[in-house]
Amino acid sequence: MSKTARGKAQRSRKSSKKKSFRTILFFALGVCVATGAYFLAKPLFEGNKFPQKSPPFEIYPSDDFEVRLKHLDRAIYAGLLELGVSVDDVEFQSVCERRSKDLHWNFAVLEIRPRKIPSKADIQTIFDSHLSKNMPGAISHIASDCRYPVIVHVSLDQHPTHHLLFFKGLKKLPPPVPKKLPKVALILDDVGYDKQIALDFLSLDASITVSIFPFSPCRKKIASIAHEKGRDVMLHLPMEPMEYPNVNPGEGVLLTSMDMDMLLAQLKENLDEVPYIVGVNNHMGSKFTKDPERMQYVFKLLKERDLFFVDSRTTTRSCARKVARRIKLRFAERQVFLDHLEEASFIRAQIKQLVSIARSRGSAIGIIHPHRLTYSILKAELSDLKKDVEIVPVSQLVN
């Protein structure tokens, strides 16, 4: 072999060795990076499992009257904001329950004291824009009397839902502090997937009840911490919604297609998944809670285990109260969802509505969700809220 040929062969072998060395080096570095990433991430996952995807927040059938009423609340608040009315200018004069056949809903009277009262024409135009175009079945009309220069009457499907009383004058003085504050329970739903936000809510100086999903990755840790702090722990029980299977409430869901044996087996497994529970409330369930036979199966087992049930009222057609009364199960139901719409002004207005209901009834139950916005608002307003109501564990409001 010539010198030239030998030189080329040697250079080729050296080049091949360099490529092999680089390949081994890159592989080794890749293994190191992957191993390091695993051990860095390992503490984030309870039980060395990758976090499961959280089920969606409460979702309701779009044609349900109460769902449309929630959006009507939002449309009214949006209209007021556009008219230059802030949340601080609005007070709930009263919130009372109305019934018509199988519907029942909250009828709210709001007293509004803006710096300057908008004209009737502007009010009608804004409300037509926010209600008529976006809320089929919602109607508003303007009136007045000697005390209130503008009164807006709002109805949905011909059912009166709101009276907005525009008052010209000084800001209304706060109501005198009663000798005994009304009681409010706040249930934090949809807990078990984000440990930190749950711990943030539990760090607040208020007896917030936590309702935890079965099979959620952080359920046991959160339940243990809540129990240590003396907070009520509940099972957030997935139940079949009207939109199932397009909308899935998550693992452990109770379905109307289940026979008694299958239903009770799934319910027992769910109950055993979350420690320290004192009660149960439903996640979704707009279809299941209308089924009296299956609700009775559920309630009998809860009674055997000395647990109560709080109806989240995801449908106005829920039979939960009737069934609970029939079998004498300790029971309560939600009055207000505070944050189903993640908007600061809306959440603050819903807090005012909850306080108004508590004043008129002596107590009220509100449901919140593990949103960072909700936490921030509640933290900021907690001291003022505790001047108006006593925040208690939900177990104090069941009967």
Structure tokens at 243: 């939109």
Q: Look up residue 200 and give its amino acid.
A: D
pLDDT of residue 230: 98
The span from the CA of 295 to the CA of 398, in Å, is: 18
**Does residue 210 contact residue 234 with C-beta atoms inside 8 Å?**
yes
Reported confidence tier of residue 133, pLDDT bands at 50, 70, 90? low
User: If DSSP codes are grouped into helix, strand and coil, which group holds residue 296?
Assistant: helix
Given a cut of 90, whether residue 41 has pLDDT beyond it is: no
- Least confident range from 31-45, 130-144, 268-282: namely 31-45
- Least confident range from 44-48, 74-78, 209-213: namely 44-48
Which domains can be identified in the chain, with CATH numbers?
65-166 (3.30.460), 183-397 (3.20.20.370)
The span from the CA of 26 to the CA of 114, in Å, is: 69
Phi, psi for 45 (deg, rounded to 5) = -115, 115
- Least confident range from 130-134, 247-251, 311-315, 318-322: namely 130-134
Q: What is the pLDDT of residues 167-185, one digit of tens each?
A: 876 555 555 666 799 999 9
Q: What is the pLDDT of residues 303-316, one digit of tens each?
A: 999 999 999 999 88
Question: Can you say whether the dihedral through the CA atoms of 35, 192, 73, 186 is positive or negative?
Answer: negative
Given a cut of 80, whether residue 138 has pLDDT beyond it is: yes
- Least confident range from 26-35, 71-80, 366-375: namely 26-35
The span from the CA of 259 to the CA of 176, in Å, is: 54
According to DSSP, the β-strands at 209-212 and 233-239 are parallel
DSSP string, 176-207: PPPSSPPEEEEEEEEESS-HHHHHHHHHSSS-
Q: What is the pLDDT of residues 218-233, one digit of tens each?
A: 999 999 999 999 999 9
CA angle in degrees (0–180, nearest 5) for 110-112-118: 130
